[in-house]
Amino acid sequence: MTRGVVVLDYGSGNVRSVVRALERAGAEVTLTGDFQTALDADGLVVPGVGAFAACMAGLRAIKGDRLIGRRLAGGRPVLGICVGMQVLFAHGVEHGVETEGCAEWPGAVTRLQAPVVPHMGWNTVEVPEGTCLFAGVESERFYFVHSYAARSWDLVTNDRTAAPLVTWAEHGGDRFVAAVENGPLSATQFHPEKSGDAGAALLRNWVTALG
């Protein structure tokens, strides 16, 4: 069964490589900013490069923040990549300026506190028990390019909801969230489309799970 995936086109760069990687993972991919098409897709991928504030402005211009909320309310899968993950948090702070995010998760995205920033290159990750996203690639390296990250995880769970699976990484002594699996909402701080065989396997895991 072919899964229909929309890569959300809202003015952020790097979308073509994401489209190609998802196609190789077995998805039928549409690149569009159309609200209804994205709402109806089996899976939605929200890419993102550059500044948090610019990505949020682009998202809001096409009602992408509402789109993400609508999909998640209906249990429809969403995958955020890089800044597409960061905008899922409540706030982003860049150069002293705070920008509201989509607020699917609490907490702020802030500058990495490491001797060398940006964090650019391959890194291992600390994967939690029960992961589906990282099945078969738990010990592999993934490709990161970023200066900001969620450096804490603040979501309080209760008995009615399954606890999110949070994957961590470290750069220059600073620990940050590398990926999250939270029901229909998944996200990676790294770029799976640039992470070779390991990234390809992760995208296949996500596409396969679309049903």
Q: Which residues are catalytic?
A: 82, 191, 193
Judge contact between 46 and 78, C-beta under 8 A.
yes
DSSP helix/strand/coil, 126: strand
Question: What DSSP string describes 74-110?
Answer: TT--EEEETHHHHTTEEEEEETTEEEE---SEEEEEE
Judge contact between 123 and 174, C-beta under 8 A.
no
Judge contact between 201 and 127, C-beta under 8 A.
no
Peptide bond preceding 118 in cis form (omega within 30 of 0): yes
Q: How far separated are the first and last CA of the chain, in Å rounded?
A: 8
- Retrieve residue 2's tokens: 């072919």
Judge contact between 210 and 79, C-beta under 8 A.
no
From CA 56, how far away is CA 84, in angstroms rounded? 9
Judge contact between 97 and 53, C-beta under 8 A.
yes
